[in-house]
Amino acid sequence: MSNLEKTLSIIKPDAVERNLDQEIKNIFLNNDFKIIKEKKIQLEKSDAEKFYKVHETKPFYNDLCAYLSSGPIVVMILEKENAVLSNRELMGATNPKEAKEGTIRKKYGVSIDKNSVHGSDSPENAKIEIEFFFKD
Ligand code: CMP
Nearest CA to ligand 1 atom 10: 113
According to DSSP, the residues that pair with 75 across neighbouring strands are 10, 39
Query: How does pLDDT run across 45-85, given as a tens digit for each residue?
Result: 999 999 999 999 999 999 999 999 999 999 999 999 999 99
pLDDT at 63: 98
Query: How does pLDDT run across 72-123, given as a tens digit for each residue?
Result: 999 999 999 999 999 999 999 999 999 999 999 999 999 999 999 999 999 9
- Give residue 2 CA to ligand 1 midpoint distance, Å: 31
Amino acid identity of residue 31, one-letter, is: N
Name the pTM for this structure: 0.97
Q: Confidence band (pLDDT; 50, 70, 90) for 1?
A: confident
Domains present along the chain, CATH in parentheses: 4-133 (3.30.70.141)
Pocket of ligand 1 (CB under 6 A): 55, 60, 64, 94, 112-113, 115, 118
Active-site position among 25, 80, 114, 118: 118
